[in-house]
A = this chain, B = another copy of it.
């Protein structure tokens, strides 16, 4: 069965980005690309990815328009955004409306929930979020884009240190109060 895995960097106080969507606080940190929680090992299991419009635009801005992801990508947006690559599909509506297409695209592999926190919460509400995997940077921002906009019970499955990051993998148990 397809696993939906939300894998993201976050600050210690639970923000994905500051109010101006800057990730300067993240990109300056030490991280061993072959160490615990490394991205290569995760990406090897990814067959499709889903993200919100803000995340999509951030990637394009920061990669200067280049799109390096090879997995089929679904961008949830209410706006009229243009796909910059053939493997990108713009979608709107509820996660469940697109479940069949997403899982068909993923094949035997997992779905990477790239973010942001509102979309991750919408996927969880639809029963389409199995894991939350975080790389916690040694930073607080005080305000910004929220990690996950819903009250949830998680279960800590793994944790370790990688460079300046705490890395942790959680199973999603359900809405807060599920256990």
Question: Which of A56-64, A100-108, A146-154 is the interface stretch?
Answer: A146-154
Docked complex Cα distance between A15 and B150 (Å): 12
| Residue of B with least CB distance to A134 | B12
Q: Does A161 contact B (CB under 8 A)?
A: yes
Known A-B contacts A12-B14, A13-B147; the reply to A152 vs B139 at CB < 8 A is yes
A154 touches B12 (CB 8 A): yes
A121-B142, A138-B170, A142-B121 known; A13+B156 contact, CB < 8 A: no
Residues of B within 8 A of A113 (CB): none
Q: How many residues of A contact B (CB 8 A)?
A: 39
Q: Which of A24-55 contact B (CB under 8 A)?
A: 25, 28
Decide: A156 near B138, CB < 8 A? Known: A12-B170, A168-B166. yes
A residues apposed to B, CB below 8 Å: 10-15, 18, 25, 28, 117, 121, 132, 134, 138-143, 146-156, 159, 161, 164-166, 168, 170, 176, 179
